A and B are shown apart, each in its own frame.
Chain A
Amino acid sequence: MRHRFDFDTFREIGDSLFRNRRRTILTGFGIFWGLFMLLFLVGGGAGLKKLLGATSEGFASNTMVLISSNTSKPYKGMKEGRYWQLNRKDVERLKLLVPELDIVAPLMNRWGQKAYYKGNSTSLSIKGISGNYDKIEAPLMKYGRFISDADVEQNRKVCVVGKRVYNDLFPQGGDPCGEFIQVGSVFLQVIGVDFSSGNISISGNASEALLVPFSVAAQLYHRGDKVDLICMTGKPGVRMSSLEPRVRSIMAREHMFDPTDDQALMVLNTEQIFQIIDNLFRGVNFLIWLVGIGTLLAGAVGVSNIMMVTVRERTVEIGIRRAIGAVPRDILSQIISESVVLTLAAGSAGIVFSVLLLNVFEKIVNALAKEAEMVSEHIPFQISFWTAILAALLLGVLGVLAGLAPALRAMRVKPVDAMRDE
């Protein structure tokens, strides 16, 4: 058995590829660009998805929010357009009647309030919450503690400030716990600072909010036991959308509106929102792969095409090789090796370039996101090691396929062709 896999095999390949350097580079560029596009888009797409995920961090993804609204259908002698409101009894009622619910939290909010502290002032929105609200929107406590059930029960005049509120009122920094800030006519003692930055939130950005015990907010604004929103999460494994009809019928019976009146009770289901985002990214991913693979295939076809031309040009050379003893398999393996080496070299350059660019992209995006206080963690954009390996394998296969047609043509070259004059 003749062994041929030595240094010269590579020299043969290198020689023929370097003979027409510009053409080789231009041909390789198709592969380079295809792979670069594919990997850059895959990495970028995954990064963007994570970025979006990070902006909604801390927000329970199986949350359902109830909002009361005017009725749109007449019911039991009452006209349409009647206004009704959720109240604190509904909270207990839902807990009791729908055991699949995990957390049921009332929420009351007031927009455009002003707070003062030692000559500093800021505008904010007041959120009256219960002690279990942290299960709906997870806080990121920088100082102190969150609102507790005891705060609510005992009407303690305390508050947790959001990040921007904290920065405005306490520009000198430091732990503000124990200080009193003035809101309207009352003074509230700061017990904690919430630095959470999730951009999905209920009634206003967390950083601009002042969280107070629900009972205090109700007193402050004379709301009695009226509730603006009811936030609920399901127990693990419960699909919130499946609970919606029951919640709707309970509320309809209690507040005397038509159970089929969808407008009277607005139900926001985050599960659906996350579903939409998920589907969106599935679509984006599909497009990425379609475009990337398409570009890559176009590159491979280009390689195949150029190799075809090269083989025709090299008819005499191949003929000489055949005349002096190259068996058809030698020619076949030479052409395919050339194709594989070309695609692998160009593709590796594409992998390296996309990794470098993703690295730069990752740094820029993270710097911007940090500055805009959108995220608190580092968002990776880089493709994984195994994606790169997979891409390299794919390239090898593409190289073989691209070389196949030209190699078969080269194999058909008869040694007699060498005798013909150049």
Chain B
Amino acid sequence: MLIDLKGVHKTYDNGQPLHVLKGIELQIEKGEFVSIMGASGSGKSTLLNILGILDNYDEGEYYLAGKLIKDLSERVSATYRNQMIGFVFQSFNLIGFKTAVENVELPLFYQGVNRHRRHKVAMEYLEKMGLTGWASHYPNEMSGGQKQRVAIARALITHPEIILADEPTGALDSKTSVEVMELLTRLNREDGVTIIVVTHESGVANCADKIVHIKDGLIEKVEDNRMHHASQFGTDTVMK
């Protein structure tokens, strides 16, 4: 069991308490490709933050690769994030004044890997993404799809336990969206990377083998989607 959430509760307290997660129970095995679906305000972003050790929760337990993730210090949670989680964000979140390869290197920089080795590994991952020729380009010189592939390379470089993708296609057109989702699917199939995608697009969610529907802070249902025809839009994998 890679991820094990037991009765996780989360309440935001900005003026008046807002009970966002009301007892989440979720198990994800290694090598799974899971999507978390829900309308905005359903609590899916909060769940993602907790899964990514970006935020704390109030009640329950969260085990990641056998380790209890609860009330960690900033220092420890940063180290866990670095070693166990790769993030892919909607807006790519590359650092603008760094080249593609430097962006990919960054997680290894914070691991203290030496410069030459870091560069070599980063180039390998860029090659995997088909971006060798773009290594020394800055993010603003690249298309959205290229940027997202750089971001995926950055997420992969530390061999994390899971890739957390937050609306990875949110800022992409439909053609590029398909390419990015195919890339994630391939990573899951060929390299056995565990991938969790948070989305509100059914087409994107349909790429996953398992769809977790979340509604009002509770898991509504977990859908087995190995046949990939989850929704009415699913069969033809139409996105947007």
Interface stretch, picked from B81-89, B178-186, B200-208, B212-220, is: B81-89
Contact status of A327 and B79, CB under 8 A, knowing A2-B111, A416-B55: yes
How many B residues, CB 8 Å from partner?
33
The contact of B106 among A324, A327, A329, A416, by CB within 8 Å, is A324
Decide if B95 touches A422 in the complex (CB within 8 Å): no
Contact B111 A324 (CB under 8 A): no
Smallest CB separation, A198 vs chain B (Å): 64
CB–CB B55/A418 < 8 A: no
Beta-carbon contact of B78 and A322 below 8 Å: yes
Binds B, one of A4-12, A31-39, A343-351: A4-12
Contact A327 B89 (CB under 8 A): no
Which of A19, A324, A327, A422 is most buried by chain B, counting CB atoms within 10 A of its CB?
A324
Which residue of the partner chain A has the closest CB to B80? A325
**Pairwise interchain contact A415-B81, C-beta atoms closer than 8 A:** yes
Contact B106 A321 (CB under 8 A): yes
Bound Cα distance from A415 to B111, whole angstroms: 17
A6 to B79, CA, bound (A): 20
Contacting pair A327 B74 (CB below 8 A): yes
Does the CB pair A3–B112 fall under 8 Å?
yes
Assess whether B107 is in contact with A6, with CB atoms less than 8 Å apart: no
CB-CB < 8 A to A419: which residues of B? 45, 49, 54, 89, 93, 166
* Residue contact A6 to B114, C-beta cutoff 8 Å: yes
From the candidates A316, A414, A416, name the one contacting B93 in the complex (CB within 8 A). A316
Contact with B along A291-334 (1 / 0, CB 8 A): 00000000000000000000000001100111111111110000
Please indicate the chain A residues that have their CB under 8 angstroms from the CB of B89 in the complex.
418-419
Residue A317 contacts which of B79, B95, B114, B166 (CB distance < 8 angstroms)? Answer: B95
Q: Is the CB of A329 within 8 A of B111?
A: no
CA distance A4 to B109 in the complex (A): 8
B49:A324 contact, CB within 8 angstroms: no
From B82, B90, B94, residue with most partner A Cβ within 10 Å: B82
**Is there a chain B Cβ closer than 8 Å to A201's Cβ?**
no
Minimal Cβ-Cβ distance residue in B for A11: B102
B81 and A325 contact, CB distance less than 8 A:
yes
User: Which residues of B in the span 84-122 have a Cβ within 8 Å of any Cβ on A?
Assistant: 87, 89-91, 93-98, 106-107, 109-112, 114-115
* Complex contact B91–A16 (CB within 8 A): no
- Of all chain B residues, the one with the shortest Cβ separation from A5 is B112
Q: Which B residues are CB-close (under 8 A) to A2?
A: 110-112
Which 3 residue pairs spanning A and B have beta carbons closest together?
A325-B82, A2-B112, A325-B110
21 contacting pairs across A/B (C-beta < 8 A)? A1-B112, A2-B110, A2-B112, A6-B114, A8-B109, A8-B115, A15-B98, A317-B96, A322-B78, A323-B54, A323-B81, A324-B82, A325-B78, A325-B81, A325-B82, A325-B83, A325-B107, A325-B111, A326-B110, A327-B74, A416-B49
